[in-house]
Amino acid sequence: MKVFQIIAALFLMFSISSCDDSVVYKAHEDMDDGMWYIKNKPEFKVEIKDTVSRYNVYYLFRNTLQYPYYNLYLTRKLTGPDGKLISNTLEEVFVSNEITGKPYGRGLGDLFDHKVPIVKNHTFTQSGTYVFQLSQSMRQNPLPFILSVGISVEKVKTGN
């Protein structure tokens, strides 16, 4: 069963990540045994060179159908190239429909990939490395059935 999940996850990863020149950064961190501990706070270092363009930022995460909640509370810390804290935001992301339980995201078998917009049409004011740190802010520790979390930073395409 574990082998099937790995194969399915790889298939989803390759099918979702098509060649797209608007993607500036895309990465995720796998959770050991599908358990996200509160102390596990993945960091993603994004190099921004173009301060004129606008960007969309997305959460990327993968969960199994067994995930016990319809939502996920995430805390996102953003630190600028100068090392100063830009934001520290708690956000609720919906994993499935609260009433029907139907999962959101793209799924294959019992795995679901989510790409959730968090910032749209954002302009980074300084060039350099921005650090996004994600942590789970649910009441359960560890949080089960979360397989990976990450972010994607994409340039807004002209005409969008």
Sequence spans of domains, the chain: 2-155
Cis peptide before 117 (omega within 30 of 0): no
Other C-beta atoms lying within 10 Å of the C-beta of residue 135 = 18
Q: What is the DSSP letter of 68?
A: -
The answer on pLDDT for 141 being more than 50 is: yes
pLDDT value of position 1: 53
Q: Which CATH architecture has domain 2-155?
A: Sandwich (2.60)
User: Tokens 């979702």 correspond to what residue?
Assistant: 16
pLDDT tens per residue, range 85-131: 999 999 999 999 999 999 999 999 999 999 999 999 999 999 999 99
Q: What is the DSSP letter of 33?
A: G
